[in-house]
């Protein structure tokens, strides 16, 4: 499970056996949600939040923080996805202090 970020109590990560479309998970205590990143012509054009089967979705405040992080770092998240799943490179997690 490559961890990408720690942010306001959230752990942002990929599962190591992920599949397309590109998406990222966030865990907070026993809660988890995911965001799918939509790309067109090499540009991020949207994000879509979804529940993770068998998991309780993130509380509203944490979901808002998760969306904010993905909006701010979507290009970096996509690059991390490519680096990990295509090029099999190790991901170095970042701890983000404060608000984005």
| pLDDT, tens only, 22-61 | 999 999 999 999 999 999 998 999 999 999 999 999 999 9
45 within 8 A of 36, measured Cβ to Cβ? no
Alpha-carbon distance 52 to 32, whole Å?
Answer: 7
Residues in the chain: 100
What is the torsion angle, in degrees rounded to the nearest 10, for the CA atoms of residue 3, residue 59, residue 71 and residue 21?
Answer: 60
Do the bridges between strand 3-7 and strand 94-96 make them parallel or antiparallel, or are there none, so unpaired?
Answer: parallel
Question: 99 pLDDT band (50/70/90 cuts)?
Answer: confident
Quote the CA–CA distance of 90 and 55 in Å, as a whole number. Answer: 27
DSSP state of 45: E
């Amino acid at each position: 499970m490559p961890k990408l970020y720690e942010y306001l109590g959230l752990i942002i990560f990929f599962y190591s056996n992920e599949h397309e479309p590109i998406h990222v998970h966030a865990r907070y205590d026993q809660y988890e949600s995911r965001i799918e990143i939509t790309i067109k012509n090499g540009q991020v054009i949207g994000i879509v939040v979804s529940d993770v089967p068998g998991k309780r979705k993130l509380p509203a405040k944490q979901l808002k923080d998760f969306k904010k992080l993905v909006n701010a770092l979507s290009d970096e998240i996509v690059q991390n996805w490519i680096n990990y799943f295509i090029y099999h490179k190790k991901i170095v997690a970042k701890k983000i202090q404060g608000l984005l």
